[in-house]
Structure 1
Amino acid sequence: MKLAGKSVAVVAPAGVPDMEHVEHSIALLESWGLRVQVGAHVRDRYRYHAGKHEDRAADLHRALTDPSVDIVWIARGGYGSVYCLHALPPDVPCAKTVVGFSDATALFGALHGMPNVRVIHGPTLNGLATKHDDASRDSMLAELREERAAPVPLQRLHGSGTSRVEGRLAGGNITVLASLAGTQWQARCDGAIVLLEDVTELAYRIDRSMMQLREAGVFDGARAFVLGDFIRCPLPDNADFTLHDMLVDLLKPYDVPIYAGFPFGHGTRNHAWTYGAHAVLEGEQLVR
């Protein structure tokens, strides 16, 4: 995609963004040659959401159906995108790229596979310019341009190191994925390399969410798992195991390779990737 002159609509379907951070990110997007418009209700506040549910949903619907908008960029994660799912249009009339992560995981299952929609798991505008590093911004820019990404070295935690695995990329935030299990928007991971991350969740809560996903069949048919960052996810005092130990135990029953080390999630480095894109795991690296 050539970016010069492309239009970005900023929407806030979830938590209240810090507009100072957002403005810095908008300036960055403009330096990339993008034209930016801010949704009517992005600056609103209703309890812990960025405006009332119907207003947030209206901004999102408008951005997805407006033929003058090329890129729909989520302002912030937090919580609240689930309220907008019923208001998503049944179809998107022209090509759109949607960018977000964290709570935006709730939008991915609903939007992925819809004609004309490309979903990029990448930094929100609440942190693109101020909370993530240059490597994150470079990866975001490359993903927008649809450039081939450099291979990412990984750490193998389980499974054969000689096997080659191909699949589409899926996943996102564990807690949000678990919250959708059993709904019409439940994620589908069959044939997928599943990327997982989380933030500010105690280990047992991550365990509980993973069990919910397992029992709901969300991971059935997955070809591999790749763990990202788990920021401020503490273990119990005097724990004799690591978070990776716990996650490997939970994922072992699928009998597929499990890796760690993909730099995405809520850390300083939030590497962008396209939901549904073809990828290969080979030689302990992820190639896209």
Structure 2
Amino acid sequence: MGHWKFLQEGDIIDAVSPGYASTPEDIEGSREFLLRWGLTPRIPKNLIKPHFLHSNEDEARFRFLKAAIEAEDSNTIWCLRGGYGSNRLLPMLAKLTKPKQPKLVIGLSDVTSLFAFFQQEWKWPVMHAPILDRMGRNVTLPRHEKEFRDLLFGTKKEITFKKLKPLNDAAKETKQIKSKIVGGNLTVLQSTMGTPWQIKADRSLLFIEDIGERGYRIDRMLEQFRQGGILKKCDGIILGEFLEGAEPKTGVNNFKQVFNRWAQDLEIPLYSGLEAGHGTIQRPIPFGTSCELSKSGNSFELVIQSGGKK
């Protein structure tokens, strides 16, 4: 996986909008946030236009993404928000010539589609982390914003997740796993199945999270992964946050039963407790870099290298 350059004050950040539209207020908030971090926001004037599904027409969203990819004066692409649309850009992306210089791509949720392409096709570094307009709304806790900034600016070269919970015997009996992280939003990962950009989890720890999906849908997606061979050579699965998805009859979700079932079914380790997803806490996760998961008392600790360099 290619290295990315640590941010420095004054660096240009290319904002893109591959999925849903951000409001004018959120765009302005994103701009102010980047300026507060000492960075130079580049948010094209016509990035957002009225559309019944997306932030703009497919061709326009791709044109702005292509410009950010090919810009020689920037090293970082940061998605304004998630929301459906990124996967429609992949066939157009596939026709581009891979630039010589890799860039860091930041986002989450629907941006998982772009992650699958950039990580697998171009070996570009990607980071599952808060979208720009969320940072611009100032809803991130100060300690988590500092952790994120330290990681991007190179003050910290790794991030540690403590107290991961082992859910099956394979996880409990594991002492150490040296691997790399792949994955993202479970529903979006499922949408890559059967495409040229189908998620590959061989010799990797698969991180998954989701929001608004009921338990049977989560079970169905994981079963498709199993039948599709995605889990065959996977080092293990790590669960981020799974939110909402209440059952109509009970008003609560049945995630616990679903994941307990999978814990018993799986021959590979299954862990929960990674503080990332669509919830209040969205800690950054570098994908594709070296990581180490090791036992710490009755729980596990995951240390992921940032992949950045000066």
Q: Which runs of 5+ in 2 are unaligned?
A: 1-5, 305-310
Partner of 2:209: helix, strand, or coil? Answer: strand
Q: State whether residues 189 and 222 of structure 1, in contact with CA within 8 Å, keep that contact through their aligned partners in structure 2.
A: yes
- Quickly say closer, same or farther: Cα 1:77–1:2, change in 2 above 3 A: closer
Kindly, what percent of the aligned residue pairs are identical? Answer: 27
Alignment of 1:75-90 (within 5 A): 75-88=80-93, 89-90=96-97
CA distance in 2, matches of 1:201, 1:21: 26
Q: How far apart are 1:45 and its partner, in Å? A: 2.3
Deviations 1:80-132 (A, max 9, x none): 00111122233023231110000000011110145573211101112123243
Task: Output the CA distance in 1 between the equivalents of 2:251 and 2:257.
Answer: 11
- Matching residue of 1:138: 146
TM-score, structure 2 normalization? 0.86
Please report how far the alpha carbon of residue 250 of structure 1 lies from its aligned counterpart in structure 2 after TM superposition. Answer: 3.2
Pair 1:274-2:275 in alignment: no
**Secondary structure of 1:186's match?**
coil
How many residues matched? 288
Work out which of the residue numbers 226, 232, 239 in structure 1 matches 2:238: 226
Aligned pair partner of 2:119 in 112, 125, 136? 112
Aligned partner of 2:303 in structure 1 is 287
AA in 2 matched with 1:138: K
How big is the shift at 1:275?
1.0
Checking the alignment, whether the CA contact within 8 Å between 1:167 and 1:191 is kept in structure 2 is yes
Cα distance in 2, alignment partners of residues 161 and 210 from structure 1: 21
Contact 1:3–1:32 under 8 Å retained in 2: no
> Are positions 1:148 and 2:158 aligned together?
yes
Match of 2:202 in 1: 190
Looking at structure 2, the residues matched to 7 and 116 of structure 1 have their Cα atoms a distance apart, in angstroms, of 22
| 1:193–1:248 distance in 2 versus 1, CA, 3 Å | farther
CA distance in 2, matches of 1:196, 1:135: 24
| 2:106 and 2:126 in contact (8 A); partners too | yes
Relative to structure 1, the CA distance from residue 250 to residue 141 in structure 2 (aligned partners, 3 Å threshold; closer, same or farther) is: same
Write the letter of the residue equivalent to 2:190: A
1:101 aligns to 2:136 (yes or no): no
Work out whether residues 169 and 193 of structure 1, in 8 Å CA contact, stay in contact via their aligned partners in 2. Answer: yes
Cα deviation for residue 204 of structure 1 reads: 1.7
Counterpart contact for 1:12–1:74, Cα < 8 Å: yes
Q: Which residue of 2 aligns with 1:161?
A: 172
- Greater RCO structure (CA 8 Å; 6+ sep): 2
Q: What one-letter code is carried by the residue in structure 2 that aligns with 1:143?
A: L
1:208 is matched with: 220
Output the amino acid matched with 1:179.
S
Shift of 1:135: 3.8
